[in-house]
Structure 1
């Protein structure tokens, strides 16, 4: 992997990971347009480490309170609001862990077909538009309950299918449940932490059984640039969310999905 490849890959992965525009659709289009080969597991891992670091840094105060609340509930000091959120995040992460381990072969193989990614990108973009258009936007973050966590967690499991978009489908579910845009996005971002931790851990496990390859400098570059891209994307997304809603992302996904259909079908 050369510098330009690493630079583009890291920024694309970092920026698209948390926006509701499907990072997988971009990552399949990138090699087609550039002629680059697949970057390999080690650089995927670097990119995920970067995005994980970004969301942890951005929500460090929320995550700190959640971890303290979770520890207090485990150690018998009662369940506070932060403690409940800890368990909601744990419960919401179970479906994606179970489904991911069950169908990993399909996700890494047949599900990466360009036609499928194009279709899921378009269909779930329309679903995102519908949820935003019909949303009551009447429930704030503190109103999230166990039912919400379970339903959003099940929606997150669907995002294992490339083209769906993890952030897109979890925000879609949250909006259908009546949460405000900010509450939906905040819960989606917090929920990405355990999901990305699981994916990164599994990537490290798989890496143990593969020949050592990759360059330390390029690995570091991809991680750092993914971190910076993700940090910028999270900040700008939340800043302009209430002003523009989901329509810009829906339009972008429809165009991207159409482009994939034209190029690959």
Structure 2
């Protein structure tokens, strides 16, 4: 893998992990579009650990307060948020443990299927953004909100769905304010990224040294771009919502269809 490819894929992961556009779909589609070889599992670990660093650095004060309050004052707003994150993490972690390999094998080279999922979820994202009644702030969230958002996160295994997209969309459907849905989605991303990254790293730790250059490049790029993507999305949400990402999904799905049929 060249340094350019490592930087490019790292940027895709950094953007796709936090913007509602699906990082997994992008990491499958763009190497196919450019005719690149499939990247290794070690490189995939680097990308995920990079985005984990991004969210931890961006929200370090929030995480610190959430953990401290969760232990010392569990009935406070920050204290409750710790347990909301724990509850929301369980369905995605369980579903990933049971079905990740199966889903990955089904979708790995099904480019048209990924395009269809991108477009369909784009429609959902557009509709929910336009019609959701955003009234509930972070202080008004309850365990039901957290549970349902956590269950929705399980569907992020399917390339094209987007973990951030499905959790934010579910939050909006439940009445959360757009900024609240986005922030809770980011906060709950750390445990699931950490779990997936740790498991993959343990399985592939012996290959890190031999691929250190691409590993370090992908890690650094996804961390920096992921940090910027979080800030970018929060600003976009404050001003205009999620429609722009629905349009992007439609454009990308169209490109996939055109390229697929031209190559037949």
Shorter chain as denominator, the TM-score bin is over 0.9
Task: Quote the Cα distance in structure 1 between the aligned partners of 2:143 and 2:153.
Answer: 15
Task: Quote the Cα distance in structure 2 between the aligned partners of 1:83 and 1:239.
Answer: 26
Task: Select which of 150, 161, 165 maps to 2:162.
Answer: 165
Judge which range, 159-168 or 197-206, deviates more.
Answer: 197-206
Task: Quote the Cα distance in structure 1 between the aligned partners of 2:44 and 2:116.
Answer: 24
Equivalent residues of 1:72, 1:79 under 8 A apart: no
State the partner residue of 1:22.
22
What is the DSSP-based 3-state SS (H/G/I as helix, E as strand, rest coil) of the residue aligned with 2:188? helix
Number of matched pairs: 260
Q: Equivalences for 1:1-265 in 2 at 5 Å?
A: 1-72=1-72, 78-112=74-108, 113-208=110-205, 214-264=210-260
Equivalent residues of 2:236, 2:242 under 8 A apart: no
Equivalent residues of 2:42, 2:207 under 8 A apart: no
TM-score (norm 1): 0.93
Equivalent residues of 1:66, 1:83 under 8 A apart: yes
Unaligned runs of 5+ in 1: none
Equivalent residues of 1:11, 1:225 under 8 A apart: yes
Unaligned runs of 5+ in 2: none
- TM-superposed deviation, 1:3: 1.1
Equivalent residues of 2:10, 2:219 under 8 A apart: yes
1:118–1:102 Cα change, 3 Å: same
What is the DSSP-based 3-state SS (H/G/I as helix, E as strand, rest coil) of the residue aligned with 1:68? helix
